[in-house]
Amino acid sequence: MAILDRIKKLVDIATQRQIYVLAISAVVLSIIETLSLASIMPFIEIVTDFQNVQNKFYIEWFYSHLRFENDQSFIVFIGSLLIILQLIRMSANLLFNFKMTNFSEHLYTQITDKIFQVYISMPYINFTKRNSSFLTKAIVSEAMFLSLVIRDSLIIISESLIAIFLYLLLILVDWRITLIFSIIYALKILIIKKTITKSIKNSGSQRAIAQKDYYEIVNKLFRNFKQTMLQSSERRNNLKSEFYSSVEKYSNSNSRYVFLNTMPKILLETFGFILIFLLIIIAMSFTEGSIVSILPTLSLFVIAMYRLLPSVNRIISSFHTIIYHHQSIEIITNELAQDKEMLGTDKINFSSSVTLQNVQFSYESENCFSNLNLSIKKGDKIAFIGHSGSGKSTILDLIMGILIPKNGEIKVDNVLLNKGNIQAWRSKIGYIPQEIFLFNGTVSENVCFGRKEDQDKLKEVLRIAKIMDFLEMKQGLDTPVGDAGVQLSGGQMQRIAIARAIYGDPEVLVLDEATSALDTEKEDAIMQEILQISKEKTLIISAHRLNTIKSCNKIYKVSNNSISLVSNEEL
């Protein structure tokens, strides 16, 4: 019940209603299953001895009120009803399984989407502390495992209801035989729980750890593929061993789970058939070799066992699936509880200035700025210089609204940036970082970055970025860039990033060491183009090379957790 309560908190009201509908459907299905099974015994009774019609009032009522001409026609009628009932049972099972499968897959979509929404709404400062391979694992694997847990919880409910109804039927038919069966199966299930279930739970914990490790190794190696190639043979072999070890642990835990999960089925089937054979032997002994008199009861128990065994096996198998993947509940619960930026859609205008007043910001215990004051007028060309780690990028992130100050205020045209309007402010900014990431697609896809494609505009921004001539020698706008831009040079990647930033016609351009991978000649040409298109825009630059910032009208030096305005003569 604790698991069900935790699952309930992870899904929305509509999904909870679907779960209730499926649970009610499971009750209906179990009733149909029981009726279809219960109808077999009276049918066999009248087939073996038609005099039994008189002994069963409900059969006799049918026979007398429907006025059958002879016994044979009545048997054909009852048999036809049973065939229809079996077809109804089959249709109900197929419909229920279809709804269950459809629900499970849509549930995976919903959970994955909820996690993704949390991740893209995560404050940037929180995102920098997270492991990207873990985030990927949560979206791809843990969400799927959680949907399996919820699906199997419903399977347990469905199969348990069927088992309970059939069990009650068997008690009504012969409580003594049912009691013997119950004691034997209870002992067997208890043994399974104490041995197999415990091992599966331990394997599930090992699975979560091993899967996390190999996701991290794959992410680390693929993101540093070139550096990996430059490692010594010994180090490369060590990397291969690390990967093999983590995958082996993951596969071993899966292998152990699959094997252990098949054991209950084999044990249950074996003991089930043994019990049936024992029942026949005992029946033969007590009836002196003739079992015609107990054939209806015997048939019911045989068919009931045939139907109960899969149900009990599915209950145990589903329970083991829940136990094996139980950590996915905790993982997804924790991920959905991550802080989110609840941003509004308020508009904000930028026609005058953006100001930072007494801004204080720190990374955990490390204080970066305690009293930062800065005013940038619309149309300014501002540069920040300083050694690596001095805080230039932090200032840019504060200006862009990516980082939120601990204290102090950031205002745009005297309007305080807040959760209601900060997204509107961010959308006015074109950002060009030093570290460029291009996804596996074409140049046009990477520049548009999900925005509407305008080929004329694409060509214009690519010419400004001084890369159109190169692309025309390839496949033009359809030139593939490769995963992480591997088919391009560092300079070409940065030029595509510049084109991406200016494609949206932003009001503010922010360059964070954006031309560091370019040679001086290319940098000068591109900076001239950027200055040309940003005449009416605000340009904010972080740079090491003084050549990059020579056309800026204000230059700030960042050092000792503060900024100071410097003149060209002081550079």
Most confident of 105-109, 216-220, 348-352, 490-494: 348-352
- Residue 201, CA distances (Å) to 134, 142, 324 in order: 21, 16, 5
DSSP state of 442: B
Highest averaged pLDDT of the listed ranges 6-10, 130-134, 276-280: 130-134
Average pLDDT of span 498-527: 77
332 and 397: one domain?
A: no
Q: What is the pLDDT of residue 357?
A: 92
Within a domain: 346: no
341 inside domain: no
Give the least confident one: 82-91, 221-230, 254-263, 523-532. 221-230
**Same-domain status, 70 and 134:** yes
Q: Does 28 reside within a domain?
A: yes
- Backbone angle region of 385, left / alpha / beta, with phi > 0 → left and psi within -120 to 50 → alpha: beta
Q: Note if the pTM is more than 0.75.
A: no
Name the one residue in this structure whose structure tokens are 């100071």: 564
CB-based contacts of 496, cutoff 8 Å, min separation 6: 436, 438, 443, 446, 447, 462, 465, 467, 481, 485, 488
- Secondary-structure breakdown of the chain: helix, strand, coil percentages, each rounded to the nearest 5: 65, 10, 25
Write down the pLDDT at residue 287: 56
What does the pLDDT average to over 20-48? 80
Residue 347 in any domain: the answer is no
pLDDT score at 515: 65
Mean pLDDT of 226-236: 59
Is the Cβ–Cβ distance between 537 and 348 less than 8 Å? no
Please answer whether residues 192 and 264 qualify as being in contact, where contact means their C-beta atoms are separated by less than 8 angstroms.
yes
- Both 294 and 366 in one domain: the answer is no
Question: Does residue 276 carry a pLDDT above 70?
Answer: no
Same domain, 121 and 265: yes
Residue 567 contacts residue 394 (beta carbons within 8 Å): no
- Helices first, then strands: H and E counts in the chain: 22, 10
Q: Are 173 and 41 in contact (CB under 8 A)?
A: yes
pLDDT at 327: 81
The average pLDDT across 133-147 equals 81
Q: Given the structure tokens 């993947």, which residue do they identify?
A: 325
286 pLDDT band (50/70/90 cuts)? Answer: low
One domain, residues 245 and 141 = yes
Of the candidate ranges 13-22, 86-95, 169-178, 291-300, the one whose mean pLDDT is the lowest: 291-300
The whole-number pLDDT of residue 49 equals 64
Please choose, from the candidates 369, 503, 391, the residue with its C-alpha nearest in 3D space to the C-alpha of residue 448. 503
Averaged pLDDT score across all residues of the chain: 79
- The verdict on residue 545 lying in a domain is yes
Element (H, E) at 457: helix 455-464
Domain total in the chain:
2
Which residue among 336, 370, 400 closes a domain?
A: 336
Does position 300 have pLDDT exceeding 90, yes or no?
no
Considering 286, 306, 336, which residue would you say is the last residue of a domain? 336
Is there a domain that residue 475 lies in?
yes
Tell me the average pLDDT across 383-409: 87
Q: Same structural domain for residues 246 and 360?
A: no
**The predicted structure's pLDDT at residue 412:** 93
In a domain, 343, yes or no: no
- Scored b (16 or more CB within 10 A) or e, 519-541 reads eeebbeebbebbeebbeebbbbb
Q: Is the pLDDT of residue 88 over 60?
A: yes
Give yes or no for residue 40 having a pLDDT over 70.
yes
In the predicted model, what is the mean pLDDT of residues 431-437? 81
More confident residue, 377 or 333: 377
**Interatomic CA distance for residues 132 and 484, integer angstroms:** 15
Q: According to the 3-state scheme, what is the secondary structure of 464-516?
A: HCCCHHHHHCCCHHHCECCHHHCCCCHHHHHHHHHHHHHHCCCCEEEEECCCC
Report which of residues 10 and 291 the model is more confident about: 10
Q: Is residue 345 part of a domain?
A: no
Tell me, what's the pLDDT at 231?
57
The Cα 330–Cα 343 span in angstroms is 27
What pLDDT is stored for residue 355 in this prediction? Answer: 93
Instruction: Output 277 or 152, whichever has higher pLDDT.
Output: 152
Residues 215 and 297 in one domain: yes
With bands split at pLDDT 50, 70 and 90, how would you rate the model's confidence at 99?
confident
CATH number, domain of 396, equals 3.40.50.300
Percent share of the chain, pLDDT over 90: 5
- Residue 321 has a pLDDT of 82
Burial of 167 (0-12, 13-18, 19+ CB in 10 A): middle
321 with 154: CB under 8 angstroms? no
Q: 232 pLDDT exceeds 60?
A: no
Domain CATH for 282: 1.20.1560.10
What size, in residues, is the chain?
571
pLDDT at 284 over 70: no
Question: 554 - beta bridge partners?
Answer: 382
* Mean pLDDT, residues 395-417 taken together: 90
Check: CB of residue 100 under 8 Å from CB of residue 22.
Answer: yes
Higher-pLDDT residue of 440, 294:
440
Q: What is the distance between the alpha carbons of residues 243 and 221, in angstroms, rounded to a whole number?
A: 10
Q: Which domain holds residue 419?
A: 353-570
The residue among 306, 336, 366 that closes a domain is 336
Distance CA(495)–CA(429), nearest Å, equals: 17
For 464, other C-beta atoms within 10 Å of its C-beta total 21
Same-domain status, 429 and 564: yes
- Point out the least confidently predicted range of 256-260, 436-440, 523-527: 523-527
Same domain for 281 and 317, yes or no, is yes
Looking at the fold, whether 332 and 368 belong to one and the same domain comes out as no
Please indicate, yes or no, whether residues 365 and 418 belong to a single structural domain of this protein: yes
What is the pLDDT confidence band of residue 415, given thresholds at 50, 70 and 90? very high
Of 29, 318, 23, 265, the residue nearest 157 (C-alpha): 23
- The owner of tokens 């807040």 is 418
Mean pLDDT of 335-346: 85
The verdict on 125 and 261 lying in the same domain is yes
